[in-house]
Structures are given as C-alpha cells and as structure tokens.
Amino acid sequence: MRNVTVIEAVRWTPDRSAVRIIDQRLLPERYEERDLRSLDDVCDAITTLAVRGAPAIGVAGAMGLAASLLAHVRDTNAEFRARLAANAERIRATRPTAVNLPWTLDRMLVRAPSSQLGNQRLLELLFDEATAILDEDRAMCRRIGEHGLALLHDGARVLTHCNAGALATAGIGTAMAPVYLAAERGWSIEVLADETRPLLQGSRLTAWELSRAGIPVRVIADGAAASMMARGLVDMVIVGADRIAANGDVANKIGSYGLAIAARHHGIPFYVAAPSSTLDRTLPNGGAIHVEQRHRDELARSFGTLTIPDGVPVENPAFDITPAELVTSIVTDQGVWRPPFNFMDSTLGIRYSGVVSAERQVPGAESRLV
Ligand code: MRU
C-alpha cells in the first residue's frame, strides 16, 4: 500500500473554538488557513467560496453555527435560542443549490429541543452534533471511495469537472475518493481535470490537491473535453453533485450536463459520486432545483481583468442539471446505483422539512444496488 497524503479542508482549531478551513480563493498561488469564529466569518467564507463544495459547506456551516454561538453563552436562554435560529437562517441563505447545507443545519436545529436546557448544555450538544457531522462526512467519503473503486481499473483515464476532491469535503472527496484509494493501492490512474470556467476549480484546486498527493493529473480547457473523448483518451467521467433529485437528475457545476451529453455520444460512462446526504427525496426531478446565479464579475472580470465589455449582459448560473437518463451510475456511501433511479421511496438520502430524518436502511428502493 502506498501512503497518499490528503489535505484536510475543514476541521476544528486545536482548542475547538473555531472552524479551520483552507482559503480556497488563494490556491494554487498561496496556501493559507483561516479560522471562522463569528457568524460573519462563516457566511463570508461560504459566499465567497473560501470554503466550497457541497459536503464541505454543509460541514463548515454546521460547525460554524456552533462556533458563532460560543461568545453568546451568557445571554438569556430565550436570546440564545433566538440567536441560534437566526444564525442558522443566515448561514442557510448563503448558497441555495447544495442540499448538504440545509441538511446539516436542520440536524443542528433538532438538537435544540423546546425543553429547558441551559445555554451551556445546549452549546455542548451543538458542538457534539457538528463534530458528528464532520466525522460522518469523512467516513462517507471513504465509503464512496470503496464502492467507486469497483468502477476503476489500473491504468484508467478519468475525466472530472470542477473539484469534487478533498477540498470539497471534510474527507477524501467524492468523485476523487476512488482515485485516492486506487493510488493507495498503487494503481496508475490519470486524471484529466477540466479547468472549469469561470472560477477554475478544476485547474486551481483539483490539479493542486492531486499533484500534491502524487497522482498524475493533466488540466484541459473545458472546451477540449469532447475532443479528448473522440480521440479515445478518456475511459470514464466522474463528477460530484450538489443535489440529486429522487429520479436521479443531478445538479452539479455548470458544464457537467455538456460533459454527460458528450460522454453518451462517445459511449463513455458518466458516473456521479456523492454522499447519500446529497440525495433530496423531496424533489421528484431536477426541475425544482434552485440553481444559484453568481455575480457577473466572475465572468466579466476574470481574476481582475476585463473579459467582457462593460454593458454587455451576462448569464452566470453556477450549476446545471444533468438528466438521469445520461447518468450511468450514482456512487454513494451506500453502494453503486444504476438506472432506473428511484430514490423517492428509498430510505437513502434525506427528506427534510425543517427537521431531518436520519434513516439509514437501504431496502425499499427500486433502484438496483450492485
Ligand atoms: O461552486 P462550487 O465550487 O461550490 O461547486 C462545487 C461543485 O459543483 C462540486 O462538484 C460539488 O459540490 C460536489 S463536491 C464533492
């Protein structure tokens, strides 16, 4: 077994008073960590993508909610509870598409029952829940990797989009988890990383973390992906997900849908890897997924340079929806699912409505677990 070092994108500070993140806005030029203590710290880090990726924002949001209450433990119980609710709502509003954020925040809120718990005890429960969410995310990533390994082979050439690696989670990533485990086993895997316009999570982040771990990675322009497939240089596509509807429609970084179409055209499997907490059973299909629109300057002033003339309108959706029929398999921490996907009646995933249901059993799903 080869030793593969994977970075930790989200963790507690040693005294457990704040959330320590790697500031992803600065990579690959500078490595800097940031400690999030206040509500503003947490909201700013998520909104500006200092911490990003669906699982990572869910984990950081929950931990940040606990940290943001530390300075208020001497408030009255009513004030403390009101602040808990208000802080959760502000964090929830930072980014709308990834379901992981409302899921972890709802988990935190059910730890505050109406009974007369004092602030100190309530705070301890919140820190415990946030730590459980952190630990579970790490474990889910590893299990995704173990299930996903069955889809890889020694020598595989894997194309990925955006960053669904360690930087996007608290663990070893989702789409990149099988790649890390394959590298541990000494397999030679080459990753083709789409640069991922407009914010370059592929070239800045995926290339950074994989090269740091000694895994061969080549960056390509987004527009090169289809022709790489046509030239026979891609064995499979693996991407992450921000939200998966009950029928298997997948919201992920803008450009994923185009990749899925190109992969189908060339007979290449298109895999989606995500924790079961990314399955949103409340949505029958992807049509109801709220796609975040980001600021025009991400396109018009790319990294500080004017790239679109002033006055020209811009459309900047951060995500797109890949229809389930283009998805070959969905790899979760609970197994590899093949079409027809039907997570509606499954006990996989979440059905949240202010409170979370933490079912874990698989039976009942019509999708096939292989
Ligand atoms: O806008 P970002 O960088 O947060 O978008 C991230 C993605 O689209 C990822 O592919 C997705 O969150 C899965 S991360 C394991």
The DSSP element (H or E) to which 126 belongs, if any, is helix 119-148
> Is residue 359 over pLDDT 70?
no
| Whether residue 169 has its Cβ less than 6 Å from ligand 1 | yes
Mean pLDDT of 210-227: 98
As a whole number of angstroms, the distance between CA 35 and CA 18 comes to 6
Distance from CA of residue 29 to its chain's centroid? 23
Q: Is 194 a catalytic residue?
A: no
CA 42 to chain centre: 17
Which band of pLDDT confidence, cut at 50, 70 and 90, is reported for residue 347? low
| Residue 145 Cβ contacting ligand 1 at under 6 Å | no
Instruction: Report whether residue 209 contacts ligand 1, using a CB cutoff of 6 Å.
Output: no
Note the pLDDT tens digit of each residue in 90-121. Answer: 999 999 999 999 999 999 999 887 677 999 99
Reply yes or no on whether the pLDDT at 353 is more than 60. Answer: no
Outline where 6-110 has alpha helix (H).
39-47, 54-69, 77-92, 100-109
Q: What does the alpha-carbon distance between residue 362 and residue 341 come to, in Å, rounded to a whole number?
A: 13
Q: Is the pLDDT of residue 309 over 70?
A: yes
The CA distance from 106 to 317, in Å, is 26
Give me the pLDDT at residue 369, please: 38
- Residue 45 CB less than 6 A away from ligand 1: no
Q: What is the pLDDT of residue 43?
A: 98
Binding site membership of 174 for ligand 1 (Cβ less than 6 Å) = yes
CA of 345 to the centre of ligand 1 (A): 26
User: Sorting pLDDT into bands at 50, 70 and 90, what band is 351?
Assistant: low
* Closest ligand 1 atom to Cα of 292: 1
Model confidence band, residue 366 (pLDDT cutoffs 50, 70, 90) = very low
What are the DSSP calls for 57-76, one per residue? HHHHHHHHHHHHHGGGTTS-
Tokens 């980001």 -> residue: 294
Q: Record the pTM.
A: 0.93
The active-site residue out of 106, 235, 242, 249 is: 242
Whether the per-residue pLDDT at 288 is higher than 50: the answer is yes
Q: Which of 25, 144, 160, 253 to mutate for ligand 1's pocket (most ligand atoms within 8 Å of CB)?
A: 253
